[in-house]
């Protein structure tokens, strides 16, 4: 591992010996965006466009899209077995799944 920011010791303390978290994050980002796979029609020629697309993908991933691994079992409701959650909900930053429009407004404003 090469430390770009911070020291090598800080990096090892945060991640341990494994870089699987970073690799998983990179793969997920590449799957969400054709801009990162290869130079095709979706390739960002302007850095600002790439930054805007990356911000939107992060917003969608963390606030709009429920993750199956973060769902919580419902105990007292016979109609539902699971409550879907986003990473933002799991971190305690919000109590509901955001809509596309609300996530877009939060980014613009």
* Region of poorest pLDDT, from 6-10, 76-80, 90-94, 102-106: 102-106
As a whole number of angstroms, the distance between CA 44 and CA 2 comes to 27
**How many folded domains does the chain comprise?**
2
Q: Taking residues 55-77, what's their average pLDDT?
A: 88
- pLDDT-derived band at 73 (thresholds 50, 70, 90) equals very high
Statement: residue 99 has pLDDT above 70:
yes
pLDDT tens for 14-31 read 777 777 777 877 788 877
Both 54 and 104 in a single domain? yes
Inform me whether the pLDDT recorded for 109 exceeds 60. Answer: no
Give the range among 7-11, 42-46, 82-86 with minimum mean pLDDT.
Answer: 42-46
Domain that residue 16 falls in? 1-32
**Phi, psi angles (nearest 5°) of residue 94:** -150, 165
Residue 34 has pLDDT above 60, yes or no: yes
- Do 54 and 22 reside in the same domain of the chain? no
Q: What is the pLDDT of residue 66?
A: 92
Claim to verify: residue 12 and residue 52 sit in the same structural domain: no
Whole-number pLDDT of residue 40: 63
Q: What are phi and psi of 36, to 5 degrees?
A: -100, -5
Short-list 77, 9, 65, CA closest to 32:
65
């Amino acid at each position: 591992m090469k430390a770009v920011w911070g020291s090598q010791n800080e990096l090892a303390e945060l991640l341990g010996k494994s870089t699987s978290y970073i690799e998983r994050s990179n793969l997920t980002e590449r799957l969400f965006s054709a801009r990162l796979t290869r130079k095709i029609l979706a390739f960002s020629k302007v850095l600002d466009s790439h930054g805007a697309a990356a911000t939107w993908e992060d917003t969608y991933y963390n606030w709009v899209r429920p993750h199956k691994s973060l769902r919580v079992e419902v105990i007292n409701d016979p109609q539902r077995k699971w409550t879907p959650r986003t990473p933002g909900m799991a971190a305690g930053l919000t109590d509901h799944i955001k809509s596309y429009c609300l996530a877009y407004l939060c980014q613009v404003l």
